[in-house]
Structures are given as structure tokens and as C-alpha cells.
Amino acid sequence: MPNIPTITARKLIKVLKKKGFYLDHITGSHHIYYDPACKARASVPVHKGKDLGKGITLAIIKDAGLTVEEFLKLL
């Protein structure tokens, strides 16, 4: 399995938008994205100036129904 880079929430959101997700709602600092095609929901914690850890990035990728390879291609 390829290494997952440490990225910001904005970059992850761009990948989700490329895959067809849209912003459903915001609860506190978490932006909830939804894809009606595959009925997947992904919650992205947005904290200005902080990167997402590799574990949370992997969990969001899994929630979105993406593989690591797909994710890296969309980056």
C-alpha cells in the first residue's frame, strides 16, 4: 500500500469535490460532504493552519468509498 501524504483539509475537500461530493452541512468545525450517487458521507475536520493526520485521512478516504490509489491520482 502506498504511503498517504500529510495534507490539509482544503486539499482533501478538493479531492472529494472531484469525486462528486458536495457540502451537505457544517457542524462546528466539521464539514460534512455527501455523494448522492453512491450515498456516501464523509466528515472532514477543518482547522485552519493544521494538517490532517495520516490516520484520519485514511479513515475519510474509506468513508468516501475511495481506494488509496484513486485518492493519490486525484491529488
Tell me if 75 sits within 8 A of 8, measured CB to CB.
no
Residue-level pLDDT, tens digit, the chain, 75 residues: 568 889 999 999 999 999 999 999 999 999 999 999 989 999 999 998 899 999 999 999 999 999 999 999 998
Give the global pTM. Answer: 0.89
User: What's the sign of the alpha-carbon dihedral 20, 22, 27, 31?
Assistant: positive
Query: Is the CATH code 3.30.920.30 the one for domain 9-74?
Result: yes
Residue 13 has which C-alpha cell?
Answer: 475537500
Q: Give pLDDT, residue 49.
A: 86
